[in-house]
Chain A
């Protein structure tokens, strides 16, 4: 399974590669990283044929996670990829907006990696 992680914090990459060390080793999961919404869109355009699961932060400079979500779900190919949103604010407004824009799941920071792993394996 190919997973694209979108977050403006560079160290998220190091963290995911360690947290999913075993899954990457066995080939169960494969990660790619984008550090902004714009970068994520470029990536998706270039790899349009691959089935990808997207894990995106909401609060990012430039294009926000919600804008990215809107682009993916409303303007992208069909069927659109699965998108899970992550945010530091566990507020209803973000949750509802994300849901209405078609987010498939919603996680709050700090991310519980056990829960995330289970969710990823279910998709």
Chain B
């Protein structure tokens, strides 16, 4: 946990030097005075926008939001009238900037609303055709996706902004975008690419002699080297940054660099050096009065002492750290402090003090409803009792931990059962020890499954991304080819980029393998990152990606057809060109023209099929979108219909010969109800996919001997109905039904009847949670063996 918090602070990005901050604040005050004097809406809009931009630079989010919200309505009337005049364009730019500023703050606070706002700003900038504006809008959007954790989208938009910054010769912003790009690549585990990006930015920073950029790039470089385990190189860049910060007398920067150097030393296992650097950072931060920084420094120092076995020193520093954590007020930081203190007392066999600290951590966790921390505190209390020989008390604490831990927090549960098992053994209670061992094994499987799914997710996303790129490039190349053939009319088309396409796909594969290698190397680091993520969210996404994974085979097959056409038509065009040349030599212009028309048609076909493949890939990406968790009024009929079609085409993509009768019966009087559309959509998709799976299974069994072809008609029905104060959605199939002995297990996580590797066993359990917990509804199942199954969702209205 400590390590994770550190990363946040180090990745916080560029920090303004104090002089710059002062100057910017002065500018803000001057603008405020002007705004107070201004009378026309036009100048008030302009000044308010400038103010919001200034506060955005100062990272004063509330003020930025306030002035952006003031400016936006003021620009309304200027942009609606007289669209083409230069005045209108000017106001549109002001409006775009204000919306962009608002979006940048919102995306920091609430990512989805922020991203929507930023997209509006981007569209406005694009309408004005103002390249610097568009570039900055891309940049801000990329940051927004970064906050959301969507690294691939962030990378795409950073790249777009970099290209435009280059076109407009904006070196400063290009360099900062390159640093951010490097950061995103680093998150994906591509340290080589990350390094490449930060090295480029360093070069630009040197070129324009900007010390802030230079230090940012150097520290980013240092971190990349460190993660790639090149510690001497990391320290070298960190030292260079230190020199620069010293030259500019930037104390915040100096402290930050000492801290980074300490982290590098710690990773390199040079604990004495790490201690020296952390202490230097601490001294500076004390001078600056940087409360959170001081707290971090103390916890780092205590950690090193603990690693060295110097527990007395460790406890002194932990206590200091807690003092500052309390001042700063971050709950996680405070609890971590008390837990650290407890751990150290435990090492010292000072059980009384260990208990006091763990109990404090427990109380704070209870007050703040932090279940994970409650479980951990209780586990540690149990450990104190075990170590002091009181197994009965230890077991009580562990049982309490078992009660508070969240059902889906598999990792913590795994540790609890592990401890329980050991404690029961000490208590000579082998029956219970065996049961705990069994539960431990179950949790262990769950954790492994979740981690495996998560890894597949990351890899799949990467491959999809690279493939999408390859296809985009192919269809671009083809468009160019068509244009050229129109201009020159002959002997132009050679090597219609099929080679290129194959090479790019080849690259994607090489990239994929490299990515895999790198991930292997960084397992240790990854594990600590995994801990950070809330397990539940992780599982939701895994399940979604797993269902995407299931579709992948079908989709790959679906892409094969357009690719065959691309290959064939480009091949043919080459042959036709030779024929055309022969006809021209013979002087048969008419025949040559006919052939030329064929070539042109082929190029259009190539383009068409390239786009077709691109569309398939886009569909996949959409399915993997993250949910927003926000309820909104939704037409359940439209939603159900949409997902019915999605599921049907998904299965058809895999198996074109599959056919089923779809029946729908929608109650039009329902109107809109308040639900989280993506989540309910996922439940419906899951139920429908299961229904299709069931009828397909039955059809395959009937089809085994081709004689029974017409005797069974697979049918899936979806219907909705309005009850008193509820809405009922039913998904019904005429498959084989669910056998009685598995019926009570279907909602359990990781239960699946599909062959190994085909189902995650999370679909129904997550559907159950979405319906009952998040929406307060019911999910019921009715089934008859041999006749079919009906799943019924009932959602309360309001």
Do A and B truly interact? yes
By a beta-carbon cutoff of 8 Å, the part of chain A in contact with chain B is: 8-9, 11, 14-15, 18-19, 58-62, 64, 66-67, 70, 88-89, 97, 101, 109-111, 113
Q: How far is the CB of B612 from chain A (nearest CB, A)?
A: 10
B364 in the interface, Cβ–Cβ < 8 Å? no
Known interface pairs A59-B656, A64-B657; A14-B560 also in contact (CB < 8 Å): no
Most buried by B among A15, A67, A109: A15
Query: Are the C-beta atoms of B561 and A15 separated by less than 8 Å?
Result: no
Instruction: Identify which of A9, A18, A58 contacts B561 (C-beta below 8 A).
Output: A9
Query: Are the C-beta atoms of A62 and B605 separated by less than 8 Å?
Result: no
Query: Are the C-beta atoms of A60 and B601 separated by less than 8 Å?
Result: no
Most buried by B among A18, A19, A97: A18
B448 in the interface, Cβ–Cβ < 8 Å? no
Instruction: Identify which of A15, A70, A97 contacts B569 (C-beta below 8 A).
Output: A15
Between A and B, 17 residue pairs with Cβ closer than 8 Å are A8-B656, A11-B565, A11-B609, A18-B576, A18-B598, A19-B568, A59-B656, A60-B656, A60-B657, A64-B657, A70-B706, A88-B557, A88-B561, A109-B560, A110-B560, A110-B568, A111-B564
Query: Are the C-beta atoms of A61 and B659 separated by less than 8 Å?
Result: yes
- Which range contains the number of B residues in contact with the other chain? 20 to 34
Query: Are the C-beta atoms of B601 and A14 separated by less than 8 Å?
Result: yes
B567 in the interface, Cβ–Cβ < 8 Å? yes
A-contacting residues, B609-623, CB 8 Å: 609
Q: How far is the CB of B596 from chain A (nearest CB, A)?
A: 13
Chain B residues in 8 Å Cβ range of A88: 557, 560-561
B38 in the interface, Cβ–Cβ < 8 Å? no
Instruction: Identify which of B601, B659, B706 contacts A62 (C-beta below 8 A).
Output: B659
Query: Are the C-beta atoms of B656 and A11 separated by less than 8 Å?
Result: no
Cβ-closest chain A residue relative to B563: A110
Q: How far is the CB of B706 from chain A (nearest CB, A)?
A: 6
B572 in the interface, Cβ–Cβ < 8 Å? yes
A59-B655, A60-B657, A110-B564 given; name 6 further pairs at CB < 8 Å: A14-B601, A14-B605, A64-B657, A88-B560, A109-B560, A111-B564
Known interface pairs A18-B572, A18-B598, A70-B706; A61-B656 also in contact (CB < 8 Å): yes
Determine the distance from Cα of A11 to Cα of B567 in the docked complex, in whole angstroms. 13
B774 in the interface, Cβ–Cβ < 8 Å? no
Chain B residues in 8 Å Cβ range of A67: 709
A-contacting residues, B573-587, CB 8 Å: 576
Determine the distance from Cα of A113 to Cα of B569 in the docked complex, in whole angstroms. 12
Query: Are the C-beta atoms of B561 and A19 separated by less than 8 Å?
Result: no
Query: Are the C-beta atoms of A15 and B572 separated by less than 8 Å?
Result: yes
Closest CB pairs A-B (n = 5): A59-B656, A64-B657, A110-B564, A18-B572, A15-B568
Chain A residues in 8 Å Cβ range of B722: none
Cβ-closest chain B residue relative to A62: B659
Cβ-closest chain B residue relative to A70: B706
Chain B residues in 8 Å Cβ range of A14: 601, 605
Determine the distance from Cα of A4 to Cα of B609 in the docked complex, in whole angstroms. 24
Q: How far is the CB of A103 from chain B (nearest CB, A)?
A: 13
Q: How far is the CB of B558 from chain A (nearest CB, A)?
A: 10
Determine the distance from Cα of A9 to Cα of B605 in the docked complex, in whole angstroms. 12
Q: How far is the CB of A105 from chain B (nearest CB, A)?
A: 19
Chain B residues in 8 Å Cβ range of A101: 706
Q: How far is the CB of A102 from chain B (nearest CB, A)?
A: 12
Query: Are the C-beta atoms of A15 and B709 separated by less than 8 Å?
Result: no
Chain B residues in 8 Å Cβ range of A8: 656
Cβ-closest chain A residue relative to B561: A9
Cβ-closest chain B residue relative to A65: B657
Determine the distance from Cα of A109 to Cα of B98 in the docked complex, in whole angstroms. 55
Chain B residues in 8 Å Cβ range of A62: 659
Known interface pairs A15-B572, A109-B560; A61-B567 also in contact (CB < 8 Å): no
Cβ-closest chain B residue relative to A110: B564
Known interface pairs A61-B659, A110-B568; A11-B576 also in contact (CB < 8 Å): no
Chain A residues in 8 Å Cβ range of B564: 109-111
Query: Are the C-beta atoms of B568 and A59 separated by less than 8 Å?
Result: no
Q: How far is the CB of A43 from chain B (nearest CB, A)?
A: 21
B652 in the interface, Cβ–Cβ < 8 Å? yes
Determine the distance from Cα of A11 to Cα of B560 in the docked complex, in whole angstroms. 14
Q: How far is the CB of B581 from chain A (nearest CB, A)?
A: 16
Query: Are the C-beta atoms of A61 and B652 separated by less than 8 Å?
Result: yes
Q: How far is the CB of B119 from chain A (nearest CB, A)?
A: 36
Query: Are the C-beta atoms of A15 and B557 separated by less than 8 Å?
Result: no
Chain A residues in 8 Å Cβ range of B602: 18
Determine the distance from Cα of A9 to Cα of B564 in the docked complex, in whole angstroms. 12
Instruction: Identify which of A15, A58, A113 contacts B565 (C-beta below 8 A).
Output: A15
Query: Are the C-beta atoms of A59 and B572 separated by less than 8 Å?
Result: no
Chain B residues in 8 Å Cβ range of A70: 706
Chain A residues in 8 Å Cβ range of B561: 9, 88, 109
Determine the distance from Cα of A58 to Cα of B657 in the docked complex, in whole angstroms. 8
Determine the distance from Cα of A111 to Cα of B571 in the docked complex, in whole angstroms. 13
Chain B residues in 8 Å Cβ range of A58: 657
Chain A residues in 8 Å Cβ range of B709: 67
Determine the distance from Cα of A111 to Cα of B567 in the docked complex, in whole angstroms. 11
Chain A residues in 8 Å Cβ range of B605: 11, 14
The interface bits of chain B over 526-556 (1 if a CB of A lies within 8 angstroms of the residue's CB, else 0) are 0000000000000000000000000000000
Chain B residues in 8 Å Cβ range of A19: 568, 572
Determine the distance from Cα of A70 to Cα of B659 in the docked complex, in whole angstroms. 18
Most buried by A among B568, B598, B652, B709: B568
Chain A residues in 8 Å Cβ range of B572: 15, 18-19
Chain A residues in 8 Å Cβ range of B601: 14
Q: How far is the CB of B696 from chain A (nearest CB, A)?
A: 14
Q: How far is the CB of B528 from chain A (nearest CB, A)?
A: 44
A-contacting residues, B689-717, CB 8 Å: 706, 709
Cβ-closest chain B residue relative to A12: B565
